[in-house]
A and B are shown apart, each in its own frame.
Chain A
Amino acid sequence: MMPSDEKAVAEDTNMPDLSKHNNWMSKCLTPAIYSKLKDRKTPSGYTLDKCIQTGVDNPGHPFIMTVGLVAGDEESYSTFSELFDPVISRHNGYAPDAKHNTDLDASKLRGGNFDENFVLSSRVRTGRSLRGLALPPWCTRGERRTVEKLAVEALSKLGDELKGKYYPLSKMTEAEQDQLIQDHFLFDKPVSPLLTSAGMARDWPDARGIWHNDAKNFLVWVNEEDHLRLISMETGGNMKAVFERFCKGVQEVETILKQQGCSYMWNEHLGYILTCPSNLGTGLRGGVHVKLPLLSNDKRFNSILESLRLQKRGTGGVDTASSDGTFDISNLDRLGSSEVEQVQCVVDGVELLVQMEKKLMANEEIDSLIPPAK
């Protein structure tokens, strides 16, 4: 046992040097918090050092604020709440005592049928974690294989428009791989250091795979960044249909898993528990590929998006740029509002953007349409 005064001196030595860092973890992790949390472990043995390793190894970028912190299991969020809470509240603006609503009733969505001259495709994705199994940064091979086994068993029981097939990465034929790439379904071994530093690429491609329905509009990724990523999509502007199928699929999978004795990680405060704090709440990203060549050249474009609580990406995905005025537009928020509310936000926002684009095409002004800053 160390004498208590030496312990006070000793506490700081393992504290990471965050002087050159710019991520949410580095902004919230103080020496006092570090000392308090450094010897704690979750029941499965995950530690603070492991939560923050990705943020220590990836100092960040002056313009993009990464989170810099992951959860290794469900209990990470509570065991290390002294760090997770400030990160969640600073990243999401979410109060420590707030309640998160889950609402997967697609019938509540108003509108959602976009003008297909502008909206090329619609997509809604989320993530889910199986309670009792560690998350991708920390899971053992045995746990990861269990996630796969339970997921595949559940997905095999889906019927009608959701009936489909599972393609494990380790057994994929060249032909299957080519088809999945053509369909834009295949996911690769992570190369981003944000993910590899967090240990998510371990044992690749063991227990990773892709499931999709025969109609190719409902897709599940197994053991990529989260246990499950569920995606509903189709070409065209029928976001309503996409969201309906999304809600149906996500809930049917949950029902079947419950019958198998499994449940999703979820709580009243944080909603669905996922690996990255940025995906807590609904874990939902609902978006469209939409042509806005004129509006995107307007210098007010970014502030309009911000007011609408939307974000833009290039059509290659996160961190890509748009080449022809076609953007991926999706919701910014995940925590503190429900699925219905977030998709409604996308629907209303995209309708407005398309309206503005039409006005600009007709050489009319859009000042009256610009929403007030939130």
Chain B
Amino acid sequence: RLTPVIKMHKIATLGATAAAAGCAGWFYKNRSEGAGARLPPTRKLLYPPSADFPNLKSHNNVMASHLTPGVYAKYRDVTTPNGFTLDQCIQTGVDNPGHPFIKTVGMVACDEESYTTFKDIFYPVIKERHNGYDPESDTHPIDMDSTKIKKGQLDEKYVLSCRVRTGRAVRGLSHPPVCSRAERRAVESILCEAFTGLSSDLAGIITHLVTMSEEDQDKLIDDHFLFDKPVSPLLTCAGMARDWPDARGIFHNDEKNFLVWVNEEDHMRVISMEKGGNMKSVFTRFCKGINQMESIIQGNGWEFQKSENLGYILTCPSNTGNGLRCGVHVKLPNLSKNKRFDDLLLNLRLQKRGTGGVDTAAVGGTFDISNLDRLGKSEVQLVQEVIDGVQKLVDLEKMLEKRKSV
């Protein structure tokens, strides 16, 4: 890892005084919050960890399932190297007890080191959320070589569109729940530098939310590219809407099939998409774009947060690994009525959503079908699984159309 002094010089070469000064954020020591981190020793005696243990009796999220008084006591007075506390990680889960049918994660990572500093809570949460993957012993494979994809063209009579998305975080800068304005602006600066280096079919323009004109806004809404200030309490309670819309932006290429969100829920969210069934083309562009961005930022002395055990590090533990959601909008009006449809999806390691996105219902038998897994399988593996799975679903749909039994 680069030391802060070296980083400062790297930032200076970006040419913007704002960026050069961005390092001020990293020198901002003792940003600790949360009970134990800020109490002088005498007061810690008055407030043992049990005094601050949250009341989780009506809670149903993954954090609440695993946070015991013992684990809380172990970590209350501990901070990550950047000064962040467990209380900051769990606040969203304390404030959002959850729903009996939907089990949310209930915690976020303040920085890269949160996962290991507080491993006695993060690892069990990851294990539950990612089907038993154990960060202590398992390793996560990374594979962004799109040439390995086989039969990536799906039948366009059924598959209306293809999309692949993921996120990345810049190493050395803290995450959206807790980042300072200086850090957030540094992320924006680093990523914008990378955008200018993208070539040919990836070249495009960045729109900064702060200076966005009404005209730009309307265009982005029409393209379905614009992201709004978060209103979900899951995000606002985690502090992700602070200072909105400072340092938030949207980049897209001229062809409008490669899109990057800057400083929304993660430092960077990348989306590659196109109409039709050419998943291989979508994934190829996805890999090309991310790989290009990665090499540009590495040339500037930066890198993405990642580890062998956790893959790419992101804000939410549910996105750890490759943070990859690869999906299609596909017409399955007959198959979706079959009573074994849900079991079939589960077997194929797929999930369904309505075409309005998560928590929407399907309209007219058209579904959003994507991978269930994120951690423990590589990008190539997951995309291949989706391609093969959707192919199978389309084959079954065709059989049902011909009134053959499936």
Contacts and interface: CB of A to CB of B under 8 A. Distances in A.
Contacts of A204: 95
A45 B21 contact: no
Interface stretch (B48-56, B107-115, B281-289, B374-382): B48-56
B45 to A, nearest CB: 12
A15 B25 CA distance: 11
A203 B95 contact: yes
Contacts of B52: 140-142
A351 interface: no
Nearest to B97: A204
A142 to B, nearest CB: 4
A365 interface: no
B94 interface: yes
B101 interface: no
Interface string B264-284: 000000000000000000000
A140 B34 contact: yes
A11 interface: yes
Interface residues of A, number: 36
Contact of B55 (A17, A44, A47, A206): A206
A130 interface: no
Contacts, number: 88
B284 to A, nearest CB: 38
A41 B30 contact: yes
B32 A45 contact: yes
B243 A16 contact: yes
Nearest to A50: B33
B80 to A, nearest CB: 16
B383 to A, nearest CB: 39
A354 to B, nearest CB: 45
A57 B244 contact: yes
A43, A47, A170, A203 interface centre (most CB from chain B within 10 Å):
A203
A196 interface: yes
Interface residues on B, range: 35 or more
A201 B95 contact: yes
Contacts of A57: 241-244
A2 interface: yes
Contacts of B330: none
A39 interface: yes
B55 A170 contact: yes
Interface string B12-48: 0000011011111101101111110110100000010
B27 to A, nearest CB: 7
Interface in A1-57: 2, 6-7, 9-17, 39, 41, 43-45, 47, 49, 53, 56-57
B116 to A, nearest CB: 24
B55 A39 contact: no
Contact of A44 (B31, B38, B180): B38
B236 interface: yes
Contacts of B28: 14, 39
A244 interface: no
A143 interface: yes
22 contacts: A6-B20, A9-B17, A10-B24, A11-B21, A13-B18, A13-B181, A14-B24, A14-B25, A14-B180, A16-B246, A17-B210, A41-B30, A45-B37, A57-B242, A140-B87, A141-B51, A141-B52, A142-B52, A170-B55, A196-B236, A204-B95, A206-B54
Interface of B: 8, 17-18, 20-25, 27-28, 30-35, 37-38, 40, 47, 51-55, 87, 91, 94-95, 180-182, 185, 210, 236-237, 241-244, 246
Interface of A: 2, 6-7, 9-17, 39, 41, 43-45, 47, 49, 53, 56-57, 140-143, 145-146, 170, 196-197, 201-204, 206
Top-9 shortest CB links A-B: A142-B51, A45-B38, A13-B21, A10-B21, A10-B24, A140-B35, A14-B182, A142-B47, A13-B182
Given A14-B182, A142-B35, 7 more contacts: A10-B23, A13-B185, A16-B181, A45-B30, A45-B32, A57-B244, A203-B55
